[in-house]
Every structure is written in C-alpha cells, then in structure tokens.
C-alpha cells in the first residue's frame, strides 16, 4: 500500500536494490516516535524524523543536533519517510538515493508542547504549517525541549530550548555510536561487507 504522502520517498528508491523500508503509512500504538539517524552519504549529516500524520516528517541536519541553546542548526526539510524507517540501520547500496551507511544515532518518543498565544495546545500539523514546531524529546541522548523554526523554502533551524536538559557538551562528538546496535558507522559498514 503506497500513499501520496510517501510518493517522493517511493520515487527515489528501488526496493529490489535497497533494504530500506517499503512506503507504508502507519501509526505508533501509543506515544509518537522520533529518531535521529547518522547518515554517511556523499556528505555526513543527521536525519531528524518526527512521527506526524502516519509518516516521519524528516529534516537533514548537516551539523547534527546540539544540546546547547546558543547553537542554531540548519535543518533542511526532506521527503516524508515511512514510520518503520525509525529502525533502519545498514548500508544503502551504491547507485541508490542516499547511498552510504546509516546508524540509529538516537531514538525515543516525543510530546508536542507547542501552544498558541492564548496558551492553548495546537496540533503538530498546525504547528508545522505555521512554521514553528516545539517538541519535548525523550531519547537516550536528546532530552528536553527543541524548537524547529521555518526560515525559507526547505530551510528550518533546529534549536535546543532552555530547560534543565540543556548542555554545553558536544553530544555528537561525545556519543557517536548507534543506540540500536552500539556500533559506529565504520563497524556497520564493515559488518555489511563481510
Ligand atoms: Mn539522509
């Protein structure tokens, strides 16, 4: 079962070649999921994905997320991915879109904390359409409130909001490994080519 939401995802991939998940719309049973995948493609980047409307809304973050509220990280909106992509770790073959190695750098659940001016909660899709998403992440590495602010075209900024989970340390350097397998990119690549 395909979906209009995932048509861009589907169009870019050959599912006989790649082991990435098939395009299928589905919802988490309870809390909504987020994942950050570290992706060593033509350029190393981190893919932030938030479950929204049965798919994973996705942003490519070249420098990766930061726990420091002073950092503003460029986050480029990319195509929606199927929910099951949150578990994908492996090697996307040469010639395929995004060819390179992917690890599950962080994952967990999130809460929508965005409110309107009157303090009333607004939906994720409304927050996204308005260009200001605010979520509280509960991951292994990323915790606390984060904002995604729309700039122009596909460009957003990912910023840690000030709270007790804000940190100065460089989390991408301090914790480079997968939370799924404990492996780093090189180990996943090597294990695949065996
Ligand atoms: Mn990517």
0.85 exceeded by pTM: yes
Q: Which residues of 112-138 are buried (b: 16+ CB within 10 A; e: fewer)?
A: bebeeeeeeeeebeebbeeeebbbbbb
How many whole angstroms from 103 Cα to the centroid of ligand 1? 10
Distance from the CA of 43 to the center of ligand 1, in angstroms?
Answer: 9
DSSP summary character for residue 121 = B
pLDDT score, position 30: 82
Ligand 1 centre to CA of 120 (Å) is 34
Q: How close is the Cα of 39 to the center of ligand 1, in Å?
A: 5
- What does the pLDDT look like over 1-52, one tens digit per residue? 445 899 999 999 999 999 999 999 998 888 999 999 999 999 999 999 999 9
């Amino acid at each position: 079962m395909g979906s209009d939401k995932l048509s861009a995802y589907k169009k870019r991939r050959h599912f006989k070649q790649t082991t990435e998940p098939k395009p299928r719309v589905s919802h988490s049973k309870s809390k909504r999921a987020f994942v950050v995948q570290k992706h060593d493609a033509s350029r190393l980047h981190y893919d932030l994905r938030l479950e929204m409307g049965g798919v994973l809304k996705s942003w490519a973050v070249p420098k990766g997320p930061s726990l420091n509220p002073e950092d503003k990280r460029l986050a480029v909106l990319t195509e929606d991915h199927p929910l099951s992509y949150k578990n994908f770790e492996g090697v996307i073959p040469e010639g395929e879109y995004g060819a390179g190695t992917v690890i599950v750098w962080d994952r967990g659940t999130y809460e929508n904390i965005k409110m309107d001016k009157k303090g009333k909660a607004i939906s994720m899709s409304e927050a996204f359409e308005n260009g200001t998403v605010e979520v509280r992440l509960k991951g292994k590495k990323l915790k606390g409130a984060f904002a995604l602010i729309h700039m122009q075209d596909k460009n957003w900024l990912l910023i840690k909001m000030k709270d007790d989970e804000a940190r100065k340390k460089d989390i991408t350097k301090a914790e480079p490994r997968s939370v799924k397998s404990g492996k780093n990119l090189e180990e996943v690549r090597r294990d695949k080519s065996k």
